[in-house]
Structure 1
Amino acid sequence: MTKTAYFLILFSILPSLLFAQSIDDAFSQEKMRKDLEVFKEIRLKTNSGLYKYRTAQQIDSIYNWANMQIDKSSTYRDFYNIILQLTDFEGSVHNNTSIREKLNQSLRAEKKGYFPYPIKWIEGEWIINFEKGEIPLGSEIISINNEKIEDIIKKLYKYYTTDGINKTGKQIGINYSFSKYYRLNYGLTDTFLVKYKKNKSSKINEITIKSIGYKNYYVNVKNRFSKPYDDVNYKDWKDNEIYIYKSIGKETGVLTINSFSMGNEEDSRHLKYVSFLDSVFTAIKKNDIKNLIVDVRYNGGGTDPNDLVTYSYLTDRNFSENKQAWISFKKIPHLKYIESKIPSFLRFLGVGKYNKWFQKEFYTEKENRFYQGPLSEDHKIRTPNKQAFKGKIYLLISPRIASAGSLFASMVAGNSNTTVIGEETMGGYYGHNGHTPFTYILPKSKISTSFSIVNLEQDVPKEKNQAYNRGIIPDFNVNQNFEDYLNQKDTQMNFTLDLIKKNSSE
């Protein structure tokens, strides 16, 4: 064997020796502590949202908890779950923590250990959302392996981040990936003892079911009973599906906006959307539409200024995107850990232009915060469009709404002529961390951790029913009921149409 061939083989073997190939592999507490220290330093110096919803005492307390958890931990999965708990505790929908792709590949290759059936939250209960399994469709789950389902769900919250202390948004992830989350939290499980109640029965039944593999679970998810109704929560919207307007009768219109991902001012998709809005609201005014249903239930965000342009047709006030925005650094911290293809020892050569941009954009320093200047586009004062709607607005919201979607929905919800219907959003009413995502790689575990660095205060009025650390709270809390679940009906839209009919007759 030549020396060159020897080194090629050696370097191909080294990665598998250095890094875990399964999330259940052993991982030393020494490495955990090193990565925890790095993770905390990154958060303290870079993440302006660290204390958005938590006090310094609370943050110190959870890091003390993390240190104590390491004392009880021995595997890569143990440490990953600790980092996930810290990530979720901060309360930002833009937070994300993930394992290396090779470990994801090993999860996808697992042939057993996964709970077989997708589940769904309906009317305060977690039910079986699969029609051809051993447990009847719609059965309420009481416990799995002698642990109450509500206790299990609380442990799985950390896998799907939302703004503040919002919980409804976490249902989006749990409804789809319950089995994966269960596996990440509890490890591989051969069998599951399930206690359940059939629909409209008080009798508790018990059954032991065998586990299945990762891929087979997601086959069942694709065949879940509710897919025809709730697939809108998970799909990537095609250009011709993003927005639509239709009339219902002579006095009511429905404007549906499923995303704001239509590019910036120069993008042809944005220009087409602006033209669509102008034609729609011209027609609304001409036809004397009195009630406008604005349906953004499946809008997870997108790009500026699509959200702001849309709001200009739904308001009678001058407004801006943000009241204020700030970051927590003058120069990008911890360059050697930031995700980049450039070797760490060379990164200082290219970072100068980015630091100059941050210093130009966030130039007002106050109490170790760097605020966006008043000339920023984000603080530009915008005016209502001449065709702005002046009738009654019925805003439909859901846990799916986040980021630019929740910014838009918050502004509309703050209007005096708006009635909000649906479920609390995962995106915050008063603000969020957004705009500029940073990703860091922890040195020992190679866990990737991402967050948005700009702390935003949205231009919305203070409302008694809106809490600082929650999503948008509806005026009418309306969830899909069990009967409508079985019949794939839209409870929220039907409620809204009935409310309009009632209001019109008064």
Structure 2
Amino acid sequence: MKKTAYFSLLFVAISNIIFAQSIDDTFSQKKMRKDLEVFKNIRLKANSGLYKYRSEAQIDSIYLWAEKEIDKSSTYLDFYNIICQLTDFEGSLHNDTGLPERYVKNLKRESYGYFPYPIKWIDGKWIINYENNEIPLGSEIIEINGVPISEVVLNLYKYYTTDGQNITGKRIGIRTHFSRYYRFNYGQEEKFQVSFKKHTSNLEEKKTIKSVGYSEYYKRFNNRYSKAFDQIYYVDLKADEKYKYEKIDSLTGVLTVYTFSMGNETTEEHQTYLAFLDSIFSKIKTENIKHLIVDIRQNGGGTDPNDLVTYSYLTQRNFQENKQAWISFKKVPYLKYTYTKIPRFLRPLGVGKYNKMFQEDFYLAKGNRFYQGPLSDDHKIREPNKNAFTGNSYLLISPAVASAGSLFAAMVSGNENTRVIGEETMGGYYGHNGHTPLGYILPKSKIETFFSVVNLEQDVPKKGNQIYNRGIIPDYEVSQNYEDYINQKDTQMDFVLDLIKSKATE
């Protein structure tokens, strides 16, 4: 028994040594070039969003950059960073590139090398978002290891994708994963020399602080100063926590929808949401509410048709989910690289139902594009609900708004009776790539890459303040200021309530 136990322990120890893989390990340029070729071919064949925000010349240029970058690269991390840059350059928030699980497990075991404190974007500055004895809470970061924080952050943008050339949404990723992204781009550091300014001080100070491990950073993030204010974005909400309505006064109400992840027509959760909307908007109509605040600042998307049903209570026009939608293939290409547990020789059978679905829905061939037909539910003309709100609506948005959340926000912001308050969303106004995700695994590195294949043009009017390659631009740009950050106050909600009061006195 003892010999067996010793042998088992020895086997586990040897296995950990052999199979534990670090992103800093060497990785041959030959393998990099093979995977780059596969990655590019998959994008060209399967990704309808490849040229949504970039010209062919721009895409060709960045792949030439990638090829030259490989000439200077020697590690797995070098190659991962190249693929992240390519993934981000396309401009789709549904793009994602990730490490294989064995590399992720090794990262989680790292005991040093990570910047020790969460940071947050407040008043146009990156500040320390953690109470500690080294750098005071709220201090503005000027430099880390001699590199201006603006340059540091710019180099980290590639790890968090957004629609078009939006950058406000990237701050969501950086406030969460700053330390991990820094480690990806700059490697592990024993210490960090930080230049900073305390709030209200013009004196630049410097302090050298020790790094922490992966787990310790995330422990500190989970105890960040702003947690009481922004934790709702990170919570796995229960069904009865995903939306609410509150009456502020006799003329004003607030509808908050944290997510559209409430199932589809076949689920009980969706039916419960429909009943909630019907009850609330009947009440709003009966009580003659004049001002309705619609708060979707934490809404990162969800499932159709929850977004569309909600919009039917906020519009006076007939509408459809999108004006057009298309994909760039008739059959799912490069099956041998697809992200699936189905053995390679069985994949043509397993993918059959998806190909059938694509061919039934996207049957109008125009060149190399396959468009949705007019009978698709996405093109169905929908009518306003009989209890649709007709007063003044105020839409609260933030950089966290994405996917179905940004589709909904774009449609509401196109209404004549709506004013939009907050910060630019990470999801686009005019369209996005969404609905159906595909995943692939690169053969040599096993890097995992995902993207959504349906190129959508949303049913929204053209507006002078909305830019094609950006998120939804608010009519009133309002973000949390420093004093409200310290006091955990809602700057944007206070602004909209003041706006309603000012309208009442006009």
TM category, shorter = over 0.9
* Aligned residue pair count: 498
What aligned pairs does 1:63-78 form with structure 2 within 5 A after superposition? 63-78=63-78
1:311 paired residue number: 311
Q: CA deviation at 1:238?
A: 1.6
Q: Does the alignment pair 1:450 with 2:450?
A: yes
- Letter of the aligned partner of 2:330 in structure 1? K
1:416 paired residue number: 416
- Letter of the aligned partner of 1:323 in structure 2? K
SS of 2:62 mapped into structure 1: helix
2:466 paired residue number: 466
What aligned pairs does 1:85-484 form with structure 2 within 5 A after superposition? 85-484=85-484
Alignment check: 8 A CA contact 2:20 2:102 kept: no
SS of 1:435 mapped into structure 2: strand
SS of 1:455 mapped into structure 2: strand
Q: CA deviation at 1:347?
A: 1.5
Partner deviation per Cα, 1:293-350 (whole Å, 9 max, x = no partner): 0000000000011000000000000000010000000111000000122221232233
* TM-score where L is the length of structure 1: 0.96
Measured in 1, the distance between the counterparts of 2:14 and 2:88 equals 33
Measured in 1, the distance between the counterparts of 2:390 and 2:146 equals 56
Alignment check: 8 A CA contact 1:327 1:370 kept: yes
Partner deviation per Cα, 1:93-132 (whole Å, 9 max, x = no partner): 1011000111111111000001100000001100011112
- Letter of the aligned partner of 1:245 in structure 2? Y
Measured in 2, the distance between the counterparts of 1:368 and 1:14 equals 52
- Letter of the aligned partner of 1:57 in structure 2? A
SS of 2:143 mapped into structure 1: strand
Alignment check: 8 A CA contact 2:342 2:350 kept: no
1:497 paired residue number: 497
Measured in 2, the distance between the counterparts of 1:180 and 1:354 equals 36
1:53 paired residue number: 53
Structure 1: stretches of 5+ with no match in the other structure: 1-7
Q: CA deviation at 1:258?
A: 0.4
Alignment check: 8 A CA contact 1:172 1:233 kept: no
Measured in 2, the distance between the counterparts of 1:353 and 1:386 equals 38
Measured in 2, the distance between the counterparts of 1:349 and 1:272 equals 37
Measured in 2, the distance between the counterparts of 1:35 and 1:15 equals 27
Closer, same or farther: CA 17–198 of 1 in aligned 2, 3 Å: closer
Measured in 2, the distance between the counterparts of 1:323 and 1:502 equals 37
* TM-score where L is the length of structure 2: 0.96
Runs of 4 or more, structure 1, over 3 Å off, are: 11-20
Measured in 2, the distance between the counterparts of 1:15 and 1:318 equals 62
Alignment check: 8 A CA contact 1:281 1:387 kept: yes
- Letter of the aligned partner of 1:437 in structure 2? P
Closer, same or farther: CA 14–333 of 1 in aligned 2, 3 Å: farther
Closer, same or farther: CA 55–272 of 1 in aligned 2, 3 Å: same
- Letter of the aligned partner of 1:31 in structure 2? K
Q: CA deviation at 1:475?
A: 0.2
1:84 paired residue number: 84
Partner deviation per Cα, 1:266-319 (whole Å, 9 max, x = no partner): 210111111110110111011100000000000000001100000000000000
Q: CA deviation at 1:459?
A: 0.4
- Letter of the aligned partner of 2:282 in structure 1? T
1:43 paired residue number: 43
Closer, same or farther: CA 357–13 of 1 in aligned 2, 3 Å: farther
Q: CA deviation at 1:239?
A: 1.2
Closer, same or farther: CA 14–317 of 1 in aligned 2, 3 Å: farther
- Letter of the aligned partner of 1:76 in structure 2? Y
Q: CA deviation at 1:236?
A: 1.9
Alignment check: 8 A CA contact 2:313 2:384 kept: yes
Alignment check: 8 A CA contact 2:254 2:294 kept: yes
Structure 2: stretches of 5+ with no match in the other structure: 1-7
Q: CA deviation at 1:20?
A: 7.1
Alignment check: 8 A CA contact 1:253 1:292 kept: yes
Partner deviation per Cα, 1:366-418 (whole Å, 9 max, x = no partner): 12100000000110000000000000000000000000000001000000000
SS of 2:471 mapped into structure 1: coil
Name whichever of 473-482 and 240-249 sits farther off.
Answer: 240-249
Q: CA deviation at 1:241?
A: 1.2
Alignment check: 8 A CA contact 1:20 1:76 kept: no
Q: CA deviation at 1:357?
A: 1.9
Q: Please tell me the root mean square deviation across aligned C-alpha atoms, in Å.
A: 1.7
Alignment check: 8 A CA contact 2:46 2:453 kept: yes
- Letter of the aligned partner of 2:195 in structure 1? K
Q: CA deviation at 1:12?
A: 9.8
Q: CA deviation at 1:204?
A: 0.5
Q: CA deviation at 1:13?
A: 11
Alignment check: 8 A CA contact 1:117 1:133 kept: no
- Letter of the aligned partner of 1:123 in structure 2? D
SS of 2:208 mapped into structure 1: strand
Measured in 1, the distance between the counterparts of 2:348 and 2:395 equals 48
Alignment check: 8 A CA contact 2:117 2:217 kept: yes
Measured in 1, the distance between the counterparts of 2:349 and 2:283 equals 55
Alignment check: 8 A CA contact 1:118 1:220 kept: yes
Q: CA deviation at 1:16?
A: 8.0
1:4 paired residue number: none
Partner deviation per Cα, 1:229-261 (whole Å, 9 max, x = no partner): 011222222212101001111000000000001
Partner deviation per Cα, 1:38-68 (whole Å, 9 max, x = no partner): 0000000000000000000000000000001
SS of 2:336 mapped into structure 1: helix
Alignment check: 8 A CA contact 1:19 1:445 kept: no
Partner deviation per Cα, 1:143-174 (whole Å, 9 max, x = no partner): 00000000000000011110000000011110
